[in-house]
Chain A
Amino acid sequence: MRKTEAVYNRKLVKGNEAIALGAIAAGCRFYAGYPITPQNEIPEFMAGRMPAVGGTFIQAESEIAAISMVMGAAATGARAMTSSSSPGISLKQEAISYMAGSEIPCVVVNVCRSGPGLGGISASQGDYFQATRGGGHGDYRTFVLAPHSVQESYDLTMLAFDIADRYRTPVLVLSDAVLGQMKEPVYLRGYKGREIRKPWALTGAKGRKARYLKSLYLNEGELTARNWKLFRKYRRMEKEIRYEMYLTEDAEAIVVAFGCAARILKTSIQMARTKGMRVGMFRPISLFPFPSQALAAISNRVNRFLVCELNTGQMVEDVRLAVKPGATVESCLCPGYIPTPNELFREIKKRYLASNP
């Protein structure tokens, strides 16, 4: 550990605050939100900080209004963000779809809680499908980044703004109740990216032709062309795929997990390692595009996979599609509650011993 950096640059903050700090560092100057547990630290932080940096904070009348405000702000070229938790993210899908269709970049944070319906306020990964399959109506996707620490909450939020602008797309940061509420020291290293020009922004038609941003295409062939254009863009985004391999080099079995589940599993895997089990973890950081190729490469030498997620089996479908035929993909599922490291260790052990008697 670099002691000097540790002493001078570390700040003990909640994951939610780290997201807000990352956004402001990346130049986000517009935030609109609506209260919902467990993401309230984000609007609260923004309410205090935005005016100080010359930005705008608005507590909107609803999640729908909040994301619509973000759409307006982002259309002028501003870096804009909203945040919510699962039920509120459902409401935001309307404008997310419009922004995907109109190619307006923005950052949306989902501090995921459990559902369906009002569900509960504990951490969940029940929104994996919603996050990675588009979420709203129409044939579109959003880029999805899933942090598993407070540091990543800060770093990936900054990255989210860059990816959003680069591909003119909404980017979703998929956090959860554990990551949002936990505190960890975070290195506030500042924004290292670069804001790019936005020749499409609606800034008033001064010295140029008037322009518009829209998602309605009624003329023959236009919408088809539009959908193919978006499709090609999503393929290009595969350049931005991110993942972590944890103790995979000598692994005989691989656990696949993201977000807080991956975090808890790191302890379970350490426990398994002390018992001599050669287990590693593959952690997708970008959930869409999914790191399928990297997983496929691993499945050339390891053929046992255990997908652990806080739902009844969503990411497991992407894992099954990615690994080579013949690999075994099992699930360890924890819908609606937060598993303990011991519990997940027992799941690993049970399966590991079954195939290594």
Chain B
Amino acid sequence: MKPVFKRPKSLYDVPFHYCPGCHHGIAHRLIAEAIDALGIQERVVAVASIGCSVFLYDYFAVDVLEAPHGRAPAVGTGIKRARPESIVFTYQGDGDLAAIGLAETIHAANRGEQLAVFFINNTIYGMTGGQMAPTTLPGQKTTTTPLGRRVIGEGAPLKMAEMIAALKPPAFVARVAVNNSKSIFQAKKAVQQAFRIQVEGKGYAFVEFLSACPTNWKMTPCEANRHVSEALIPEFPLGIFKGDL
């Protein structure tokens, strides 16, 4: 018998701590597969951010630095500039990347830093227990928008992929989903492209994952997957916003 599905070399053989139905595990796997596919494991330095994914170093068999909340793109800038042979990626949630770290996010993109930025957008703060995120949908109930998010007063969902694609320097900007096998296949290609661009020295890459948080959405994993298709994708359209695969 020939194994056709293996654990990627760049992931440790440990169970994820993530909740059932959470998409972090899929995103982790896609990133690890891309690292393996490009043969860059020994060069990668990852930047963990603050949120559920802070324990990146427990799962990825690569060097990892834990950045202050929102500062991952700046920290990644320092790593890459000081050590250009490294392949650097950041892995950030919506609170980290689009709220507290918005300045660092936009400016790293606008400098065209040689970074792969992976953005996990699940429209909610996961680790702190389900508060409003900058990407929370209009009307979505969270622990800090108990009546549902009002666009005037609490803000409209920030469209990060579109915002970054509007800048001149970024080389590749995509938004993907991982709630079914077809979208996972597309996502895999986008993640690989994000790394390939850096390996080839072509600049900044941004991949936004529409991601499920069944626990804080108060849904079953299956309901959460459907919610991604029915509620998230209409608000945050999938696609390649800049560059190509």
Is any CB of A less than 8 Å from a CB of B in the complex?
yes
- With A68-B78, A204-B45 known as contacts, the answer to whether A76 contacts B67 (CB < 8 A) is no
Is A210's beta carbon under 8 Å from chain B?
yes
> Which chain A residue has the least Cβ–Cβ distance from B64?
A212
Is A300's beta carbon under 8 Å from chain B?
no
> Which chain A residue has the least Cβ–Cβ distance from B50?
A216
Docked pose: A65 CA to B54 CA in angstroms: 19
Is B71's beta carbon under 8 Å from chain A?
yes
- Residues on A with C-beta less than 8 A from B54 are 216
- Residues on B with C-beta less than 8 A from A56 are 81-82
B interface vs A, CB < 8 Å? 41-45, 47-48, 54, 57, 60-68, 71, 74-83, 85-87, 103-104, 107
- With A32-B78, A58-B77, A206-B42 known as contacts, the answer to whether A75 contacts B71 (CB < 8 A) is no
Docked pose: A280 CA to B222 CA in angstroms: 78
A side interface size, CB within 8 A = 40
Contacts of A68-94 to chain B: CB distance below 8 A: 68-78, 80, 94
> Which chain B residue has the least Cβ–Cβ distance from A78?
B82
A interface vs B, CB < 8 Å? 29-30, 32, 56, 58, 60-62, 64-66, 68-78, 80, 94-95, 98, 102, 202-207, 210-216
- Residues on B with C-beta less than 8 A from A71 are 65, 67-68, 71, 75, 78
- Residues on B with C-beta less than 8 A from A202 are 45, 63-65, 79
24 contacts between A and B (CB under 8 A): A29-B82, A30-B82, A56-B81, A58-B77, A61-B104, A64-B103, A68-B74, A68-B104, A69-B75, A71-B68, A72-B80, A72-B82, A76-B83, A78-B83, A94-B71, A98-B67, A204-B42, A205-B62, A210-B60, A210-B61, A210-B62, A213-B64, A213-B65, A214-B66
Docked pose: A252 CA to B66 CA in angstroms: 53
Is there an interface contact between A69 and B83, defined as CB atoms closer than 8 Å?
A: no
Knowing that A66-B74, A76-B86, A206-B42 touch, tell me 20 more A-B residue pairs with CB under 8 angstroms.
Answer: A65-B74, A68-B104, A71-B65, A71-B78, A72-B75, A72-B76, A72-B77, A72-B79, A73-B79, A74-B82, A76-B78, A95-B71, A202-B79, A203-B83, A203-B86, A210-B57, A210-B61, A212-B57, A213-B64, A214-B66
- Neighbour of A69 across the interface among B44, B78, B85, B86, CB < 8 A: B78
The 5 lowest CB-CB distance pairs between A and B, nearest first, are A72-B78, A73-B82, A68-B74, A68-B71, A73-B78
- Residues on B with C-beta less than 8 A from A205 are 41-42, 44, 61-63
Docked pose: A260 CA to B150 CA in angstroms: 54
Is there an interface contact between B63 and A204, defined as CB atoms closer than 8 Å?
A: yes
Docked pose: A105 CA to B67 CA in angstroms: 15
Is there an interface contact between A94 and B63, defined as CB atoms closer than 8 Å?
A: no
> Which chain B residue has the least Cβ–Cβ distance from A214?
B66
Docked pose: A72 CA to B77 CA in angstroms: 7
> Which chain B residue has the least Cβ–Cβ distance from A106?
B78
- Residues on A with C-beta less than 8 A from B78 are 30, 32, 68-76, 80
Is there an interface contact between B68 and A102, defined as CB atoms closer than 8 Å?
A: no
